[in-house]
Chains A and B, each alone.
Chain A
């Protein structure tokens, strides 16, 4: 028989003590959602089942004890750290869930500048960590837009990627080892070595699990030398996205590795670049690293771009200023809430990826369909921001006016239909429906189409590691009705 809310809280207090178990209504309401339901938050209308409690663990042992208690009593656990999730991963869709917050586990445990890695607890803020490293001449080189908010556990759990990924890779390329707790309370460690061939790389069972398999309590990531004095910024305006994708491809295929390689369409670019590129696409590169390599890379990338007559170079200071204003901090989020409330205009993003031969088709089909089919749309555009040897991503940005709806209808009238178009067009073209935000709870509908026959592996992992179904149910894999 399942426990009542009161019994759940009582059990948690026994494990953690009352000061770490929060049952304040407002805290529970705000903890029942993430930024996917930001309009409900703006309106103060919360439609998800409220969790029984939000609990703050301060050690791996406390995480293990809470998970074991939940596993024994079939209580759904929603793991979280920095709360910057955007895809519903933090929504408490199961009655009487417990939000297990690791943000107080915020110690940087070891900075190893000889073996070039740093070990920290899951609640360490990426920005705090990186600022500390930069003072010593090092960096994590991980720089997502959520850097001022996100914490290390969540970044690994969602397969995060940063703005410098084209050189340094995503978080999956940076993680060396981890400590993880499984639902039965088992604490596991993957040791920190440069490489191994000892069977499957089990780090990848954990990286990107979105709290649906286990709880990441500690991570070790690579560090890199920090040499911003060598950064070179390049920017160009051009007429078409098609040309832009061709240039990105050529840069990658020829073997150059700018840290930043981005292509904006005119609609998305208008917000950032209207003062010099109105109505045009914008191509941006940043190269970094040792001075000689940075200079040669910049020169060769310029040579590639110059072969395309439609590209016009812009002053690099324009690009540097843009780059310095890219991240989202708590002030920007507070301003956004105020703006949404006043204008009743709201924006979201959906990020996908595709090989070079389909990415333009995905871009074109999604933009055309959303513009034609979605009512009250005020902006539909996007950019490519992470390129690889085989292809690139598309980060779609869309805004719409909220007309004649209740707060909860925002999702059904606008957000779901847009997501549906983007995901379906991407899968149809052979791309991946999620590039770096995670599946969360709102793209699970298409998970089988995404995985096709390999869904067997995903489903088996879930059954093996979370047999009682207590880990962030409804995330990655939909709840069976």
Chain B
């Protein structure tokens, strides 16, 4: 089974101080001074796929894993890590355009890669990135490929006969489905949230393979990109105030304060559980 995991690297916005959130004349916040990290949902998708690959071996089925990202050269250190973690192929699609808010463009590139360059059985993506927050790319990829899409995926396991057992969050619970491929899986808020770490030996043995670099211009997206530039325009940025309300519990002693906390705020919640 061939599985493509698409991931995005994003600036670590937690590193920005209050004063760094200044909007410049181009309506942009300068994030060039912070390091890049894996988008959190994509990190879950990558680790989930590695776990699936391990489990599949016990089913005597081997997976072919490809990692793909669209971006500049900064993403290559992540691709090298994925090579060291035994991904068979690492692909970077060179792009210096700002496509954060154009998921149609990203989805078109991924769909064309799967259709024309490297056929796959499964495409796994994080549901959204903290940068664009569009939450559209997996659905658009599925639509363009004409494949079914499962959203809010939190676990993937092997099943028999080229099928996958997929767990996803649905309203009020979780849903487990055994599905046929091809399919698109959109990874949500999964319990697996960190990517494993390769050993130095694996970095030396596997991490130095050449990354396949394709230019975004080889994909047929010029007219789509133009359309996006004309249809969407950023007209303003406003800071959201995130102040949280707080209550000071008054009391003569610690015990009195603890009792008030329990009686007024905790008791009812604990009883519901």
CB neighbors of B among A375-429 (8 A): 376-380, 399, 401
Q: Considering the chains assembled together, what is the distance between the CA atoms of A371 and B36 in angstroms?
A: 27
- Give a binary string over B47-60; 1 marks a CB under 8 Å from any A CB, 0 the rest: 00000000000000
The chain A residue with its CB closest to the CB of B20 is: A321
| Complex interface: chain A residues within 8 A of B33 (CB) | 315, 317-318, 320-321
The answer, yes or no, to whether A131 is at the interface (CB within 8 Å) is no
The answer, yes or no, to whether B192 is at the interface (CB within 8 Å) is yes
Q: Considering the chains assembled together, what is the distance between the CA atoms of A344 and B51 in angstroms?
A: 14
| Complex interface: chain A residues within 8 A of B116 (CB) | none
Question: Total A-B pairs in contact (CB under 8 Å)?
Answer: 53
Query: In the complex, how many angstroms separate the beta carbon of B76 from the nearest chain A beta carbon?
Result: 8
Q: Considering the chains assembled together, what is the distance between the CA atoms of A73 and B35 in angstroms?
A: 56
Instruction: Please tell me if the beta carbons of A401 and B199 are within 8 angstroms of each other in the complex.
Output: yes
Segment among A164-172, A202-210, A214-222, A273-281 that sits at the interface with chain B: A273-281
| Complex interface: chain A residues within 8 A of B17 (CB) | 321, 324
Q: Considering the chains assembled together, what is the distance between the CA atoms of A140 and B16 in angstroms?
A: 25
Also in contact, A399 and B197, with CB within 8 A (given A275-B36, A317-B33, A324-B17): yes
Q: Considering the chains assembled together, what is the distance between the CA atoms of A109 and B34 in angstroms?
A: 40
CB neighbors of A among B93-118 (8 A): none
Instruction: Please tell me if the beta carbons of A342 and B192 are within 8 angstroms of each other in the complex.
Output: yes
The answer, yes or no, to whether A453 is at the interface (CB within 8 Å) is no
| Complex interface: chain B residues within 8 A of A324 (CB) | 15, 17
CB neighbors of B among A320-335 (8 A): 320-321, 324-325
| Complex interface: chain A residues within 8 A of B199 (CB) | 376-378, 401
- Give a binary string over B193-207; 1 marks a CB under 8 Å from any A CB, 0 the rest: 111111110000000
Binding site secondary structure of chain B: loop
The answer, yes or no, to whether B245 is at the interface (CB within 8 Å) is no
Instruction: Please tell me if the beta carbons of B200 and A342 are within 8 angstroms of each other in the complex.
Output: no
Contact of A321 among B34, B192, B197, B198 (CB under 8 A): B34
Also in contact, A321 and B193, with CB within 8 A (given A272-B35, A278-B77, A378-B199): no
Contact of A345 among B14, B16, B77, B197 (CB under 8 A): B197
Also in contact, A380 and B197, with CB within 8 A (given A272-B35, A273-B35, A275-B34): no
- Give a binary string over A305-320; 1 marks a CB under 8 Å from any B CB, 0 the rest: 0000000000101101
Instruction: Please tell me if the beta carbons of A343 and B194 are within 8 angstroms of each other in the complex.
Output: yes
Instruction: Please tell me if the beta carbons of B197 and A343 are within 8 angstroms of each other in the complex.
Output: yes
Most buried by A among B14, B15, B74, B194: B194
Instruction: Please tell me if the beta carbons of A345 and B196 are within 8 angstroms of each other in the complex.
Output: yes
> How many of B's residues come within 8 Å of A, CB to CB?
20
Q: Considering the chains assembled together, what is the distance between the CA atoms of A324 and B34 in angstroms?
A: 11
| Complex interface: chain B residues within 8 A of A318 (CB) | 33
The answer, yes or no, to whether A339 is at the interface (CB within 8 Å) is yes
The chain B residue with its CB closest to the CB of A325 is: B15
| Complex interface: chain B residues within 8 A of A270 (CB) | 77
Instruction: Please tell me if the beta carbons of A342 and B197 are within 8 angstroms of each other in the complex.
Output: no
Instruction: Please tell me if the beta carbons of A275 and B35 are within 8 angstroms of each other in the complex.
Output: yes
Instruction: Please tell me if the beta carbons of B15 and A339 are within 8 angstroms of each other in the complex.
Output: no
CB neighbors of A among B156-211 (8 A): 192-200
> How many of A's residues come within 8 Å of B, CB to CB?
27
The chain B residue with its CB closest to the CB of A379 is: B200
Query: In the complex, how many angstroms separate the beta carbon of B88 from the nearest chain A beta carbon?
Result: 21
- Give a binary string over B12-45; 1 marks a CB under 8 Å from any A CB, 0 the rest: 0011110010000000000001111000000000
The chain B residue with its CB closest to the CB of A314 is: B33
Q: Considering the chains assembled together, what is the distance between the CA atoms of A344 and B192 in angstroms?
A: 12
Contact of A371 among B15, B74, B198, B200 (CB under 8 A): B200
Instruction: Please tell me if the beta carbons of B196 and A321 are within 8 angstroms of each other in the complex.
Output: no
Instruction: Please tell me if the beta carbons of A378 and B197 are within 8 angstroms of each other in the complex.
Output: yes
Query: In the complex, how many angstroms separate the beta carbon of B127 from the nearest chain A beta carbon?
Result: 19
Q: Considering the chains assembled together, what is the distance between the CA atoms of A272 and B33 in angstroms?
A: 11
Query: In the complex, how many angstroms separate the beta carbon of B266 from the nearest chain A beta carbon?
Result: 18
| Complex interface: chain A residues within 8 A of B35 (CB) | 272-275
| Complex interface: chain A residues within 8 A of B34 (CB) | 275, 321
Instruction: Please tell me if the beta carbons of A321 and B15 are within 8 angstroms of each other in the complex.
Output: yes
Q: Considering the chains assembled together, what is the distance between the CA atoms of A50 and B251 in angstroms?
A: 34
The chain A residue with its CB closest to the CB of B14 is: A325
Query: In the complex, how many angstroms separate the beta carbon of A449 from the nearest chain B beta carbon?
Result: 29
Query: In the complex, how many angstroms separate the beta carbon of B187 from the nearest chain A beta carbon?
Result: 15
| Complex interface: chain A residues within 8 A of B197 (CB) | 343, 345, 378-379, 399, 401
The chain B residue with its CB closest to the CB of A346 is: B197
Q: Considering the chains assembled together, what is the distance between the CA atoms of A401 and B14 in angstroms?
A: 27
Query: In the complex, how many angstroms separate the beta carbon of B56 from the nearest chain A beta carbon?
Result: 20
CB neighbors of B among A352-392 (8 A): 371, 376-380
Q: Considering the chains assembled together, what is the distance between the CA atoms of A320 and B17 in angstroms?
A: 10
Instruction: Please tell me if the beta carbons of A380 and B200 are within 8 angstroms of each other in the complex.
Output: yes
The chain B residue with its CB closest to the CB of A344 is: B196
Q: Considering the chains assembled together, what is the distance between the CA atoms of A23 and B101 in angstroms?
A: 56
Query: In the complex, how many angstroms separate the beta carbon of B205 from the nearest chain A beta carbon?
Result: 13
- Give a binary string over A25-42; 1 marks a CB under 8 Å from any B CB, 0 the rest: 000000000000000000
- Give a binary string over A65-83; 1 marks a CB under 8 Å from any B CB, 0 the rest: 0000000000000000000
| Complex interface: chain A residues within 8 A of B15 (CB) | 321, 324-325
Q: Considering the chains assembled together, what is the distance between the CA atoms of A34 and B14 in angstroms?
A: 28
Q: Considering the chains assembled together, what is the distance between the CA atoms of A325 and B34 in angstroms?
A: 10
Q: Considering the chains assembled together, what is the distance between the CA atoms of A377 and B20 in angstroms?
A: 37
| Complex interface: chain B residues within 8 A of A376 (CB) | 199
Q: Considering the chains assembled together, what is the distance between the CA atoms of A3 and B198 in angstroms?
A: 51
Q: Which 5 pairs across A and B sit closest by C-beta, in order of nearness?
A: A345-B197, A275-B35, A321-B33, A378-B197, A342-B194
Query: Can you show 26 pairs from A to B with CB atoms below 8 A apart?
Result: A273-B35, A274-B35, A274-B36, A274-B77, A275-B36, A275-B74, A315-B33, A320-B33, A321-B16, A321-B17, A321-B34, A324-B15, A324-B17, A325-B14, A342-B193, A343-B196, A344-B196, A345-B196, A376-B199, A377-B199, A378-B197, A378-B198, A378-B199, A378-B200, A399-B197, A401-B199
A-contacting residues of B (Cβ < 8 Å)?
A: 14-17, 20, 33-36, 74, 77, 192-200
B-contacting residues of A (Cβ < 8 Å)?
A: 270, 272-275, 278, 315, 317-318, 320-321, 324-325, 338-339, 342-345, 371, 376-380, 399, 401
